[in-house]
Amino acid sequence: MTRAMNIGFGTMLLALLFMWTTSYAGDVPLKIKWSGTVVETAIDVVDDGFGLPANLIDAQASGSFGASNVSVLSEFTPGMFLCDADGNGVPDEGVLPLVFAYSRPVITFANGDQLWGHVTEGRGCLSQITGYFTGEAEGVYDGGTGRFSDVSEATGSFVVSFEGNNIALPDLGVGFGAIRGEIKGRIEK
């Protein structure tokens, strides 16, 4: 063998060893970009006295494990923090700080397998003037169907960032609009 072939063969063996240890550990990275619509529902999931209805997201996605659909039912409550886009310590005028009171995402992959999760904490800011919103959340996976039907094969955590435009809020006072975001995390098998 030539020296180049030895180096190539050694590199392949190291790569295979790394791939085997990664799959043996069962820690699979997950990264999904999604975009779709968000609509306000008539459902008040959390009886917190604020009367804010839950929102439903329906989005098309791509990334880890191929094409998928992301559906999320979330309800927010007013938050006790400043929405300060400029970072100058002055609250943005007409912007409502919100925290997640409830949120359950479902990722449905092209073959029908589903991955379920729930948000453990998160927050966002919604302009009551323009309808623009942005936010982030953290959560955990807690089951699913198909390859994720065994809870021990669908655990892990995720972080999601999102932004969008509530196009109906300024005119109609209700929630409907475009939303997009990215999910990053790990699934432990």
Residue 85 lies inside a defined structural domain of this protein: yes
> Encoding tokens for residue 119?
């948000």
Positions in the chain whose pLDDT score sits under 50: 1, 4-25
40 located within any domain: yes
Specify if 68 maps to a domain.
yes
Flag whether 88 is in a domain. yes
Is residue 31 assigned to a domain?
A: yes
Domain count for the chain: 1
Q: Contact 72/105 with Cβ under 8 angstroms? A: yes
Q: What pLDDT, on the 0 to 100 scale, is given for residue 16?
A: 36
Q: Which domain holds residue 137?
A: 26-188
Residue 71: inside a domain, yes or no? yes
Using alpha carbons, list the distances in angstroms from residue 91 to 13, 100, 125, 164. 56, 20, 11, 20
Q: State how far the Cα of 156 lies from the Cα of 27, in Å rounded to an integer.
A: 9
What is the maximum alpha-carbon separation in the chain? Answer: 76
Tokens matching residue 117:
């999760």
pTM of the model: 0.80
Domain for residue 7, yes or no?
Answer: no
CA atoms within 13 A on the CB side of 118: 6
> What is the structure's pLDDT at 171?
77
Q: What is the pLDDT of residue 189?
A: 66
Whether 92 maps to a domain, the answer reads: yes
